Amino acid sequence: MTINVQETFNALPPVWPEDLLPAIRREIDARPLSLVVLDDDPTGTQTVYDVPVLTGWEVRTLVDEFNRRTPLFYVLTNSRSTPQAQAVELAREIGANIFEASRQTGRAFEVISRSDSTLRGHFPAEVDALADVLEIRQAVTLVIPFFEEGGRYTIGDVHYVKEGNDLVPAAQTPFAADAVFGYRHSDLKEWVEEKTQGRVPASSVRSLTIDDIRLKGPDCVASRITECAPGTVCIVNSADYRDIEVVVLGLLRAEHENVRFLFRTAASFVRVRGGLRARPLLTAEEILSTCEGGGLVVVGSHVPRSSEQLFDLLDNAYVCDIELSVRGILASKSRDMEIGKAVEFADSALSKGKDVAIYTSRELVTGDDDVGSLSIGAAVSQALVRIVSSISVRPRYIVAKGGITSSDIATQALEIRRAQVLGQILPGVPVWQCGPESRFPNLPYVVFPGNVGSTDAISTVVRTLRKPEDW
């Protein structure tokens, strides 16, 4: 049932009155380790700043990061774009490499499996694989999809998506109809039962309630978690960043009692667990290293929010645009022509200093099953990669819309191995600085999640990064 945002929030107890980040920082400093975030698509960096992102996970790469004593870093797995069996193998491989890098360096670590705030992704398969390879099968699994920047809240164990003045149960949103990761339940206890196919019944799932968090505080959280039986799944209710602060401090205290955790979370939890305060949105001066050349926007995401934002961009942001036919890409006879036409168009416009938008046609084309739908998405993404790889003019910036799109462009077209998260240009929209090894060193790369932002969000980003003389 849809409920009113303000009425719902007004009915909740007030948030915990104390700023807990100083206490969280003291706990972190007392037990130095590397927090490794396995991100199933690159949009998970949408709450952090001054943090590295690795696109590879070889043991030597992880050893280098551990030797740097990096307190928090991301490993981009992009596993949400793969079939479940491949995602499980990735989790096992990366987990084993983390384990070995820790052994070689003596650096302690903790792993967070970061996924979608609207509940899409390979759960519980990835978490189960990590539990096996990291030898923590008895850990308490915490499910924390709260993401304030995108309007995702969990109240009374029900996960909601904010739409205007309303909170809509997640299972009633288009995200729940995803061709690969669809689901029927908004109550997260029932969602866990659904996703585990009954292996974990809803009746066995525990939860930290808003009352536990706001009225009783970190000590209550620590106590409740410590009481959980090994292997328990626990839902964390949250409607404010302060709720997450209470939970994180409670978890850090519970770790003193040798409780081990597995985390399946959205992006907001990572910022607090890393001890980071909120930072203002980035300005154009903080992002751009040059005012020369045109900018490039690539839109692959086809969720309704992305399409609304694309149409607003085309109507209001004064970009040169070209549509890439999805059916043309999928047909081998027309694929090269579609790609070549887009490359020629982009090079011509960028060379004249114009901002360019390349977008896929909006008709949703799906396969006969999950694997078929993922393979179609991969084929479309590969076409976008070929386009960006073939463009000969360096853009002033690149905006990539959608998780699969932004991941493949980062790793394959731009050849990023280690990027730095500068911060956010809009709430929930991170900006990376490409590493020196990449195709365009130091290029600003805006990783724009498909399901985040108001209708004019892409237009706002393009206007923010527009050359002053183009206003």
Identify whether residues 194 and 226 lie together within a single domain: yes
Averaged pLDDT, 443-447:
96
Pair 160, 170: CB distance under 8 Å: yes
Provide the pLDDT confidence category of residue 369 given band limits of 50, 70 and 90: confident
- Residue 424 lies inside a defined structural domain of this protein: yes
Q: Which residue has the higher pLDDT, 468 or 260?
A: 260
Specify the pLDDT at position 441. 95
Provide the pLDDT confidence category of residue 202 given band limits of 50, 70 and 90: very high
Identify whether residues 155 and 240 lie together within a single domain: yes
Identify whether residues 224 and 350 lie together within a single domain: no
Model-level pTM? 0.91
- Residue 184 lies inside a defined structural domain of this protein: yes
- Residue 456 lies inside a defined structural domain of this protein: yes
Task: Say what percent of the chain tops pLDDT 70.
Answer: 97
Q: What DSSP state is assigned to residue 63?
A: H
Identify whether residues 299 and 220 lie together within a single domain: no
Identify whether residues 132 and 219 lie together within a single domain: yes
Please state, in angstroms and rounded to a whole number, the distance separating the CA atoms of residues 221 and 133.
28
Pair 268, 47: CB distance under 8 Å: yes
Q: How many domains, in total, are found in the chain?
A: 2
pLDDT above 50 for 148:
yes
H or E element in which residue 446 lies = strand 444-448
Question: Who's near 136: CB < 8 A, 6+ residues apart?
Answer: 130, 260, 262
Provide the pLDDT confidence category of residue 471 given band limits of 50, 70 and 90: very low
Residues 276-292 have pLDDT tens digits of: 999 999 999 999 987 78
- Residue 143 lies inside a defined structural domain of this protein: yes
Identify whether residues 310 and 412 lie together within a single domain: yes
Identify whether residues 360 and 228 lie together within a single domain: no
Q: What is the CA 385 to chain-centroid distance, rounded? A: 20
Identify whether residues 337 and 235 lie together within a single domain: no
- Residue 73 lies inside a defined structural domain of this protein: yes
Q: Note down the domain range covering 342.
A: 284-470
pLDDT above 90 for 405:
no
- Residue 279 lies inside a defined structural domain of this protein: no
Identify whether residues 256 and 309 lie together within a single domain: no
Averaged pLDDT, 417-441:
96
Averaged pLDDT, 155-170:
97
Q: Which of 239, 273, 307 is the last residue of a domain?
A: 273
Identify whether residues 262 and 289 lie together within a single domain: no
CATH (domain of 358): 3.40.980.20
Residue from 72, 94, 110 nearest 421 by CA = 72
- Residue 278 lies inside a defined structural domain of this protein: no
Specify the pLDDT at position 366. 65
- For the chain, what is the mean pLDDT? 93
Question: Who's near 74: CB < 8 A, 6+ residues apart?
Answer: 36, 37, 38, 39, 44, 45, 51, 52, 53, 54, 114, 421
Averaged pLDDT, 253-270:
93
Residues 372-400 have pLDDT tens digits of: 777 777 888 888 999 999 999 999 999 99
Pair 153, 146: CB distance under 8 Å: yes
Provide the pLDDT confidence category of residue 404 given band limits of 50, 70 and 90: confident
Provide the pLDDT confidence category of residue 467 given band limits of 50, 70 and 90: low
CATH (domain of 260): 3.40.50.10840
Averaged pLDDT, 231-259:
96
Specify the pLDDT at position 368. 61
Identify whether residues 436 and 394 lie together within a single domain: yes
Q: Which of 218, 241, 273 is the last residue of a domain?
A: 273
- Residue 162 lies inside a defined structural domain of this protein: yes
Identify whether residues 34 and 179 lie together within a single domain: yes
Q: Which of 218, 244, 273 is the last residue of a domain?
A: 273
pLDDT above 60 for 470:
no
Task: Say what percent of the chain tops pLDDT 90.
Answer: 79
